[in-house]
Amino acid sequence: MDTVTGGTTLRLRLRRQVEWVPVAALVLAVVWGIAVGTVVDGPNGTAGGIAMSVVGVPIAVLAVSGAGHLVRPLRVRADAEGLTVRLPTWPGRTVPWSAISRVSASPRYVVVEGRAPVGKLPRTCRLRAAYRRLAASEGSDTGEGLCFETQVFDLDPAELLDAIRQYAPVGLTVTDETRQ
């Protein structure tokens, strides 16, 4: 945790057990690139090459996103404006405190529930997708928020909650269930 004038920044690296996923995506992208060359040179080159290229776009996106997590970890900053999330391959987006209804933490995750779309982060980013999955199982009616999973990111929930408590407005509910 880095505390600088006006805010606290946390860098969330991937856990060791999860780091193999981006590495595997990069290896898959390289193998796919070699396979495309072979298919294009073969007897069905035109049709096969087009098909392989179309299929390879999601593989390339996954590989770039995964490499981003290895090179530039996810960053979260709490300050007077709100909670700023900087994804590895996406510009930092701030969720203002007025758009956050509550924050809660358990040993497995920290949940930031929002009243509106959260900081214009992509719907496919890990934090929003995990929140949608969790909200569906817990019956949340907002459908908008962020979920920082401790099994994915090297995260101490108490540390993130401390940073949020330091800058959050008085009316914001912050619940710590990590000790229960």
Under the banding of pLDDT at 50, 70 and 90, the label for residue 11 is very high
What phi and psi, each to the nearest 5 degrees, are found at residue 162? -60, -45
Q: Classify 4 as helix, strand or coil.
A: strand
Amino acid 139: pLDDT: 62
Strand pairing partners for 86? 75
pLDDT at 79 over 90: yes
Q: Say which range, 65-74, 100-109, 134-143, 146-155, has the weakest mean pLDDT.
A: 134-143
Give residue-wise pLDDT tens across range 159-180: 999 999 999 999 898 998 887 6
Spell out the alpha helix ranges (H) of 42-167. 45-71, 126-138, 157-167
Q: Is the dihedral of CA 155, 158, 161, 165 positive or negative?
A: negative
Dihedral of CA atoms 66, 68, 71, 72 in degrees, nearest 10, equals -130
* Prediction pTM value: 0.79
Report whether 144 contacts 118 (CB < 8 A): yes
Amino acid 61: pLDDT: 82
Under the banding of pLDDT at 50, 70 and 90, the label for residue 3 is low
Which of 103, 119, 92 lies closest to 165, judged by CA?
103
Amino acid 10: pLDDT: 92
Q: Calculate the average pLDDT of the chain.
A: 84
Give residue-wise pLDDT tens across range 87-113: 888 888 899 999 998 899 988 899 999
